[in-house]
Amino acid sequence: MKQLFLLIFTILFVNACGVPLSLRKDRVSKKDESRQYATTDSAFATYVATFEQQGAQKTGNPDFKVGDIPINFGDTENPHFQGVCFEYSDGTKEIIVQKAWWDSVDQNYRESLLFHELGHCRLGREHDNTLVATNDGDKKLSMMSAVIVNSNEYNANRDAYLTELFTQNVNSLLSAFSL
């Protein structure tokens, strides 16, 4: 039993989004500081392009763009947080991702984390930790869960998770979960 508890605790903290105390809609507010980067690291270019394409498709807005939100590797200010959306007092934002984590996971996990953080920074979404009981156990009903959707679950239900991310409509996820 103790091992099960430790496993669950580890999973929750190893896959968590950044949630320090100074929050504004789950973005980390940084007073009297400037963002660290002006441009996005090329490692994220494909993910940004996919986010924009999915955003245009799911919202029906052909001009949907990420905008001025650089994404880079760096210090998330908490070793348990793989990615963080920082918002500065001048209104600028940026996403910082731990490189060691990024290098250790597959493309689905990377996309899940990055789209979650863009959900905060670009879409203004807050965490939504709603779970739904299925025959296969509890499932996250939002990409915006504080604990990032894992690679296998994301891959199996990617389109439904992206529909929820951009529209906040859970019906596609409920259908994907046969509910």
Cβ partners under 8 Å of residue 159, min gap 6: 172, 176
Q: Which helix (H) or strand (E) holds 24?
A: strand 23-24
Sign of CA dihedral 132, 135, 138, 144: negative
Q: Please give the radius of gyration of the chain, using alpha carbons only, rounded to the nearest integer.
A: 16
pLDDT score at 169: 96
Number of domains the chain contains: 1
| b (16+ CB within 10 A) / e for 121-157 | bbbebebbeeeeeeeeeebbbbbbbbbbbebebbbeb
Give me the amino acid identity at 118.
Answer: L
Tokens of residue 153, six digits = 């679950």
Sign of CA dihedral 58, 61, 65, 68: negative
pLDDT score at 94: 97
Its domain, for residue 166, covers: 2-176
Q: Within the chain, which residues score under 50 in pLDDT?
A: 1-16, 18-25
